Amino acid sequence: MSRLLFIFLFLTINAVHVLSKKSFVFVVDTTISMTDEISIIKSNINATVDSIKDYDVEFILLPFGDPDIGPPINETASGFIDMVHLIEENGGNDCPEESLGAIKMALEWSQPNSYIYVFTDARPRTKDIDQINTITNLCETQKSQVLIFLTGKCSPTETIDAVYYDVAKNCRGSVVFYDLGSLRYAFKYIKETVKTQWNQVDAQYDFLREKNISFAVDTYTTDMMFSIAGEHPDIEIINHFGEKVDVQRIINTSTACVVIMQQLTEGEYKAAVTGGDFGMVTIYTRRTIHVEFGFSSKIPRSLDETSKAPIPGIKCYILVILDANLELTSIKLQIAKTGEEIHLQYQALDETRGYYIANNIFEHGKTFKLSITARHKENNSVIEGVTPPVKPQEPGMLTEWMKPEVQIIGPEMNWAEFGDSTTFACKVTAFPKPRIIWEDDIGNTLPSQCVLVEIPSVYLTYANVANATRNANITCMAENAMGADAISLKLFVNRTNTFNVLKSPSDITVGYGEEGKLYCEVDAYPTAEITWLHNNTAVVENDNIMFEPEEHTLVIRNMDIESTGEYICKIENEVESRSLGASVFITGLVSPYIKPPLIKNITQPMGTDVNFECYVARGSPVPSSRWEFIGHSIGPLNYILKNISKRDEGIYRCTADNMLAVDTIRIALKIIQN
């Protein structure tokens, strides 16, 4: 065993394998024939690692020789550089090497979505070809990239082995042939693959001398990189206007061409790829989504109801807002220090606007990122995005006492459908915690809820109107020992114009002296006014006519002949008017009738008394009855005329009358001497 391998084994015992970070893996052929290549690697490794050390990757060095592979070693950025500089070439006079076994071990040891860079000058051993299927399966599972950098020192006359192309295709990578003079350009390629978060890599294009590739750029595509490997490769890109697109050439050697497109505009593009012989094209695409997000201990309706960081130790809701053309497929929490990934459950809050909600209990002091994956609703393409780092709020923060400041969340004018429940929100900044009250414009206190959204002094308060039936001013008031503040917003209730007659008057017949009712009720918006007409004259309340608004009635208290006739209920608002009529009849009226007397002529001596009797048999209403003599009323129905004299002689009439008629009987009185 070589001294270098012993060092590797010793250090590996103390290595820490960090979970869930992407791995940056150098797979280096350490055989004697690689002496010059290893020297170039050592010359470039410091600058390469320094340019990517701030990215969330772990560093792994995996040497392989003849016949040994590994062991792999995990290190920090500085430790990785040190390990590379400790590499010593050793053995391996045969050209085929254990390269496939080394690639397989790198995939097994590294994390998903990792970068694996293979440096070798040898083709793989024939007996290892059966490992291709295992490598392919690992690449499909891990979604890692394998880039193979070949030099021609071991076998300058051989073509590049097709096995490497198979590995590169299946592992979203490339095979690039470098001579010693151009190997340093491989490190520029490495930097670009790590520094830019390429979320789509397509290595399916191979060509013989030339290849035309059509591709589309959508609004989410920010960068593209084309890597062409072969003899004298080149590329020209034409946009949808037929114009040549300016590209940034990262590498341009006799065996490799790498270009980057930035600041792209939407449209269809064509790439014309050329080369002297068989070549390979790998296309890297960076597609990002604009993610808006916020945190609250209550399910928020908008970003205004959230904070930029969660409160630790409590259930916290995460509002994620995407472009409405995207459908969320995954939310992951990436813990910064450990690299741990936590898949969060989520649900659509308002999918038409791209609003989604998830929840989590965040730990104090653990900085994290949100990793978002979405699917485009039209073309089903997958797009990813990662938020900037977020650190949970610090509990127990102190602040100066401050007077409440109340701010409306949302518009000052709010619309609600008639009868709906609606919720209002305000943000209150105060310390210590204020007393918060919501009131409407007639002094009703509304049910409300208050939650702390930013430690220690920012609160969200919510009020609810359970049944919105009228326009109103709603006021949010906050008060603490330092003072008070208040702010009002307007509620407008939107109601569809309606005009539904629920009760209409109908013809009635009412007994004389009894009570009669006419009904008229409407459900109308805008509110309708009801007025009554009686025989074309406006009805006003009096001793006999009254209105009962709660019963929607006109009441005739004591039916009489004057109360009969045509009644009209007139319903009217600014949109519609309607008149509804009914007739009122009276019953129970009887004309007066006086029973005829048995004696119509009375002869009576002077000085005696005469008894006049009059019997009213019927009449309704009760008739007014009296005895009359010479046109004057002289007494009631039973009347006694005393001590008669000659002047009392004549015709006596009994009269009974009511509103219908008059009835009369006559009695003649003749007076004689005694």
- The CA distance from 668 to 674, in Å, is 19
Question: For the chain, which domains are there?
Answer: 1-195 (3.40.50.410), 199-283 (2.60.120.380), 292-386 (2.60.40), 402-494 (2.60.40.10), 498-587 (2.60.40.10), 590-672 (2.60.40.10)
Cα separation, 194 vs 416, in Å, equals 52
Q: How many CB atoms lie within 10 A of CB 34?
A: 26
By mean pLDDT, which of 12-16, 214-218, 325-329 is the weakest? 12-16
CA–centroid distance for 300 within its chain: 9
Secondary structure, 3-state, 594-646:
EECCCCCEEEEECCCCEEECCEEEEEECCCEEEEEECCEEEECCCEEECCCCH
Q: 229 pLDDT exceeds 80?
A: yes
What pLDDT does residue 18 have?
Answer: 35
Task: State the residue for tokens 């392919």.
Answer: 136
* pLDDT tens per residue, range 518-539: 999 999 988 899 999 999 999 9
Q: Is 114 helix (H, G, I), strand (E, B) or coil?
A: coil
Report strand pairing: 145-151 vs 115-120: parallel
Q: Is the pLDDT of residue 202 over 70?
A: yes
Exposed / middle / buried, residue 13 (Cβ in 10 Å: 0-12, 13-18, 19+):
exposed
Q: Mean pLDDT throughout 382-392?
A: 88
- Please give the mean pLDDT across all residues of the chain: 89
Distance CA 569, CA 578 (A): 8
Compute the distance between CA of residue 379 and CA of residue 400 in angstroms, rounded to an integer. 54
Q: Which of 361, 279, 350, 287 is nearest to 318 (CA)?
A: 361
Q: Which residues on neighbouring strands pair with residue 279, listed in sequence order?
A: 207
Helix (H) / strand (E) element for 274: namely: strand 267-287
State yes or no: cis peptide before 432, omega within 30 of 0. Answer: yes
Distances, alpha carbon 223 to alpha carbons 205, 235, 284, 384, 429, in Å: 19, 16, 8, 14, 43
Rounded to an integer, the average pLDDT of 165-170 is 88
pLDDT at 395 over 50: yes
Amino acid at 253: T
Give the type of residue at 578.
R
> Could you tell me how many residues make up the chain?
674
Query: Over 80: is that where the pLDDT of 95 sits?
Result: no
In this model, does residue 160 exceed pLDDT 70? Answer: no
Mean pLDDT in residue range 133-155: 85
Task: Kindly state the average pLDDT of the residues 219-231.
Answer: 90
| Residue position matching structure tokens 């209409």 | 504
How crowded is residue 496: how many other Cβ atoms within 10 Å of its Cβ?
Answer: 7
**Residue 322 pLDDT greater than 50, yes or no:** yes
pLDDT at position 1: 33
DSSP string, 48-96: HHHHHTTSSEEEEEEEE-SS-B---EEE-HHHHHHHHHT-------SSS
Asked if residues 100 and 120 have their Cβ atoms less than 8 Å apart, the reply is no
**What's the confidence (pLDDT) of residue 94?**
59
In contact, 26 and 40? CB cutoff 8 Å: no
| Residue type, position 157, single letter | T
Question: Residue 122's pLDDT is what?
Answer: 83
Q: What amino acid occupies position 343? A: H
Residue 517: CB atoms within 10 A of its CB come to: 14
- Model confidence at 10, in pLDDT bands (50, 70, 90)? very low
- The pLDDT assigned to 203 comes to 63
- Helix axis angle, 35-52 relative to 77-85, nearest 10°? 170
Write down the pLDDT at residue 3: 34
Q: How far apart are CA 309 and CA 295, in angstroms?
A: 6
Cβ neighbours of 174 (radius 10 Å): 27
Q: Are strands 662-672 and 601-605 parallel, antiparallel or unpaired?
A: parallel
Mean pLDDT of the region 613-627: 92
CA angle 626, 632, 635 (to 5 degrees): 35
Question: How far apart (Å, rounded) are the C-alpha atoms in residues 388 and 290?
Answer: 12
Q: DSSP string spanning 191-234?
A: HHHHHS---EEEEEEEEEEEEEEEEEE-TTEEEEEEEEESSS-E
**Backbone conformation region of residue 146, classed left if phi is above 0, alpha if psi is from -120 to 50, else beta:** beta
CB neighbour class for 579 (10 Å; exposed up to 12, middle 13-18, buried from 19): exposed
Please check the confidence at residue 157 and state whether its pLDDT lies above 60. Answer: no
Residue 126 CA to residue 136 CA, distance in Å, equals 17
* Cβ(74)–Cβ(31) below 8 Å: no
Pairing of strands 115-120, 22-29: parallel
3-state secondary structure of 127: helix
Residue 11: in which H helix or E strand, if any? Answer: helix 3-13
The alpha carbon torsion through 549, 552, 558, 563 (nearest 10 deg) reads 110
How far apart CA 603 and CA 610 sit, in angstroms, is: 10
Measured distance between the N- and C-terminal CA atoms of the chain, rounded to whole angstroms: 179
* Site of tokens 């690639």: 103
Least confident among 142-156, 300-314, 337-351, 464-478: 142-156
Among 288-297, 340-349, 389-398, 590-599, where is mean pLDDT lowest? Answer: 389-398
What's the rounded Cα separation, in Å, for the pair 251 and 191? Answer: 12
pLDDT value at residue 594? 94
CA angle at 369 for the pair 367 and 374, rounded to the nearest 5°: 165
- Write phi, then psi, for 371 (nearest 5 degrees): -100, 120
Q: Say what the alpha-carbon torsion angle 84, 87, 92, 96 is, to the nearest 10 degrees.
A: 0
Instruction: Look at 227-236, 333-342, 413-422, 584-593 and tell me which has the smallest mean pLDDT.
Output: 333-342
| Model confidence pTM above 0.95 | no
Pair of tokens at residue 582: 């009914």
pLDDT of residue 255: 87
Q: Which two tokens stand for residue 580?
A: 């509804």
Is residue 599 pLDDT above 80, yes or no? yes
